[in-house]
């Protein structure tokens, strides 16, 4: 298993453009998490899904951010319009959804908004 897959690995875009980040969780995992990592704030949970249903989106910064999980093997995080302060590394993680709690992280997408 290749683990959690994220694409693209790097994204450079101009302010105002739409950005879509993609994640494929580990097969058989029931829960999926989106995080944002910055130097100042560390790892922040943006949103998480269980069985494709959004459970907690309280960490989504504002309406410019949206996330979907149309099926068990795919999720997207979209930023529209993007701003320079959105520059960060975005991680996706998945878990079995049982009591093991171990989250398996993807390699991250480094987003730079100029």
Q: C-beta of 6: minimal distance to other proteins in Å?
A: 10
Min CB(96)–other proteins separation in Å: 9
Residue pair 49/55 in contact by the 8 Å Cβ criterion: yes
Of 45 and 72, CB closest to other proteins: 45
Residues 80, 30: Cα–Cα separation, whole Å = 27
CB of 37 vs other proteins, minimal distance in Å: 9
Residue length, the chain?
114
Distance CA 24, CA 39 (A): 26
Residue 4 or 79 with smaller CB distance to other proteins: 4
* Burial zone of 46 (CB within 10 Å; 0-12 exposed, 13-18 middle, 19+ buried): buried
Contacts with other proteins, residue ranges (CB under 8 A)? 3-4, 31, 33, 35, 40-45, 48, 50, 55-56, 91, 93, 95, 97, 99, 101-108
């Amino acid at each position: 298993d290749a683990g959690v897959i994220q694409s693209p690995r790097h994204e450079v875009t101009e302010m105002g453009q739409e950005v879509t980040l993609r994640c494929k969780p580990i097969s058989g995992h029931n829960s999926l998490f989106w995080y944002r990592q910055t130097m100042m704030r560390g790892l922040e949970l943006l949103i998480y899904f269980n069985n494709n249903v959004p459970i907690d989106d309280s960490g989504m910064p504002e309406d410019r951010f949206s996330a979907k999980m149309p099926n068990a093997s795919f999720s997207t995080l979209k930023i529209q319009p993007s701003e320079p302060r959105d520059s960060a590394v975005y991680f996706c993680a998945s878990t079995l959804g049982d009591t093991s709690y171990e989250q398996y992280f993807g390699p991250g997408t480094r987003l730079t908004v100029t």
